[in-house]
Structure 1
Amino acid sequence: MTIAQSKGQAAELDALNYLQRQGLSLIDQNYRCRYGEIDLIMKDGQTLVFIEVRKRQSAKFGGAIASVAYTKQQKLILTAQHFLTTLKKMPVCRFDVIGYEGSALQPVWIKDAFQLAS
């Protein structure tokens, strides 16, 4: 495991703990399929939330939140659609992004960061 992977896993664990303190409950972690991976899948009330966690050392190239660009969003959407095929009932869903910049301990949480294009 590289240092970056180790820091990424630590950020995911921090995000999980933070979101649980905010009242969300964990459904799945590091869900993988042929389309990609979703860091956290959680429930916020009746809403199923697909969460991408990003950690960046600096905001020099746009920062953690901005690093979830269109291409990554499309992979997350395809992966989420794959996950949804395993469910009997289609829940209300949203895509959130949790970002950590530098040594900041408090994450930036963007709810409903992007949506399916209609």
Structure 2
Amino acid sequence: MMKSHDARARGMAIERQVATWLQTQGLVPVASNHHVKGGELDLVMHDDDTLVFIEVKHRRDTRYGHPSEMVTPLKQRRLIRAAHLYLASNGLSSPCRFDIVAVTGTQPSLTFEWIKAAFDAF
């Protein structure tokens, strides 16, 4: 299922806002919307010496579930595979973490919930 152009643009705008917000929390941007075979990494940032792969999920409200619930075990496996490919293609070896930023609301009043170490790569 392809996202409409409007939905894609809205998603990119929210990801940019999340990246900016995470920078105020001390993270340093490395990459965004990094496409690899079989997946995409929304945001890649440094938290001190840890490379953090951040999945951004948005819902207008939680009537049909919390945005973090959209990161299913299958999605987690795809993110882990994408992260492995990212590390290999960039010759990196550092501590890594998988975070989720669950975004609810509509512009301009969005709420961010940062779930650190949301799942493991094992």
Range with greater deviation from structure 2 (37-46 or 53-62): 53-62
User: Is 1:114 matched up with 2:116?
Assistant: no
Aligned-partner Cα distance in 1 for 2:58–2:116: 17
Question: Contact 1:41/1:48 (CA < 8 Å) preserved in 2?
Answer: yes
Instruction: Tell me, in whole angstroms, the C-alpha distance in 2 between the residues paired with 1:63 and 1:6.
Output: 22
Write the mapping of 1:44-63 to structure 2, written as runs, cut at 5 A: 44-63=47-66
1:21 corresponds to which of 21, 24, 28:
24
- Identical columns (%): 37
Q: How much does 1:89 deviate?
A: 4.4
1:96 matched to 2:99? The reply is yes
Deviation at 1:105, TM superposition (A): 2.1
Question: Which residue in 2 is equivalent to 1:4?
Answer: 7
What amino acid maps onto 1:14 in structure 2? Q
- What residue is the counterpart of 1:105 in the other structure? 110
Which stretches of structure 1, 4 residues or more, deviate above 3 A after TM superposition? none
Superposed displacement of residue 62, structure 1: 1.5
Amino acid in structure 2 at the alignment position of 1:39: D
Show the counterpart of 1:30: 33
1:90 Cα deviation from its structure 2 partner? 1.1
Q: Which amino acid aligns with 2:113?
A: V
Q: How many residues align?
A: 117
CA distance in 2, matches of 1:99, 1:17: 15
Report how far residue 88 of structure 1 moved. 3.6
Distance 2:91 2:76 in 1: 25
Question: Scaled by the length of structure 1, what TM-score is found?
Answer: 0.92
RMSD: 1.3
